[in-house]
Amino acid sequence: MLGSYWFPVSYAFLSFPIAAAAFTVPFLVVQYRRHGYVHKFRAFMLYLLLLYVLNAVYLILLPLPPSIHNAPPDAGSYFQWIPFHFVTDIVRETGVSLDRPSTYPHLLVERAVLQVAFNVLLTVPFGLFLRYYFRARWMRCLLLSFGLSLLFETTQVTGIFGIYDYPYRLFDVDDLIANTLGGMVGYLAAAWLSSLLPRIDRLDEGVDLSVKRVGYTRRAIAAAIDWAILLPFCAVLAMLHLAFFIRIRGHRDRLFCRDSLCGERPDGREMGRADPRAGKRGARDAAGTGDAIRLAVPARRRH
């Protein structure tokens, strides 16, 4: 049971460096634009949020079917609409008896119990970030947690929005309840966490940007953005200039040929163009007769 959860989590940690590299430039741009500098704790929290998003996405999607032309799931319906149906699953699948407390520890290793527990834990960090970092109220946290869970379930039951022929997981209303509950648990836990960590909205208090030196990273980001904006315009201007130059040169060549060199001779050949057959014909004549080429030297007068 735990192996099915460790597999997506390991993929999330392996792909985190790639996602972090792609996230870095937009992050730096927003931080320099909004705050004028990069606060290390704020950066740590945002990268931690990115890691959580990767874990949540992989836990929802993985493992994928081997082919997009997958077989339909072996179930009578793709939807489970009965709330708290997991209680029936726990009673049916476990050997726990209410009158025998010694059987209670078996709940910790049963699939039905672990599935509900992990569905709750899945959105606990979401509620933590909503209250601590984004300063969300409880109603907003409740609605967003429910909306996130609904997105998860819709993604699964539609086969990732039509990529797969059939859904490879079912829509379960108990998952909606567990995920929403996890978001609210995280919201309540954030109250305790906020007492241990600095407030996000007060990180910039006492920071004097006028005495902060503009670092090389910020300069490099600014230069990269400038070139990213200028290069397309420069490329378009260069192409327009080249097209204009080719057109002007072609027009000039036509005028030059018409006015001076490319007129017609009486024999029908164009002026300004040598007859390529003349040289070959002269060479054949000289080779056939064997006559040497004589230079005409003016004769001296005799006195």
pLDDT digits (tens, 9 = 90+) for 129-177: 999 999 999 999 999 999 999 999 999 999 999 999 999 888 999 999 9
Specify the 3-state DSSP secondary structure of 177. Answer: helix
For 270, list phi and psi in degrees, rounded to 5: -75, 145
Q: Is 161 or 222 the better-scoring residue by pLDDT? A: 161
For 172, list phi and psi in degrees, rounded to 5: -125, 120
Q: 90-112 as b/e, with b when 16 or more CB fall inside 10 Å?
A: beeebebeeeeeeeeeeeeebeb
23-68 residue pLDDT tens: 988 888 888 888 888 888 999 999 999 999 999 999 999 989 999 9
Q: What pLDDT is attached to residue 260?
A: 54
The yes-or-no verdict on residue 114 having pLDDT over 90 is no
Q: What pLDDT is attached to residue 224?
A: 73
What value, to the nearest 5°, has the Cα angle with vertex 297 and ends 296 and 302? 135
How far is it, in rounded angstroms, from Cα 222 to Cα 231?
A: 14
117-126 residue pLDDT tens: 999 999 999 9
CA dihedral sign of residues 278, 280, 282, 288: negative
259-303 residue pLDDT tens: 555 554 545 555 544 455 555 455 455 445 444 444 444 555 554
How far is it, in rounded angstroms, from Cα 143 to Cα 154?
A: 16
Q: Which of 148, 134, 159 is nearest to 71 (CA)?
A: 159
pTM equals: 0.71
DSSP states along 193-262: HHTTS--GGGTTTT--GGGSPPPHHHHHHHHHHHHHHHHHHHHHHHHHHHHHHHHHHHHHHHHHIIIIIS
Neighbours of 1 (CB within 10 A): 11
Q: What pLDDT is attached to residue 216?
A: 65
83-109 residue pLDDT tens: 998 888 877 777 777 777 777 777 777
How far is it, in rounded angstroms, from Cα 65 to Cα 167?
A: 10
Specify the 3-state DSSP secondary structure of 72. Answer: coil
Q: What pLDDT is attached to residue 45?
A: 94
Question: Mean of the pLDDT values across residues 217-237?
Answer: 77
Q: Is 236 or 130 the better-scoring residue by pLDDT? A: 130
Q: DSSP strand E in 49-116: where?
A: 79-80
Q: What pLDDT is attached to residue 295?
A: 45
How far is it, in rounded angstroms, from Cα 145 to Cα 148?
A: 5
Q: What pLDDT is attached to residue 90?
A: 79
Q: 2: pLDDT confidence band, cut at 50, 70 and 90?
A: low
Q: Is 232 or 252 the better-scoring residue by pLDDT? A: 232
Label the pairing between strands 171-172 and 79-80: parallel
Q: Which two tokens stand for residue 171?
A: 């829509």
How far is it, in rounded angstroms, from Cα 51 to Cα 16?
A: 6
Q: Which of 179, 178, 156, 186 is nearest to 168 (CA)?
A: 156
The dihedral over CA atoms of 288, 291, 293, 296, expressed in degrees to the nearest 10, equals: -140
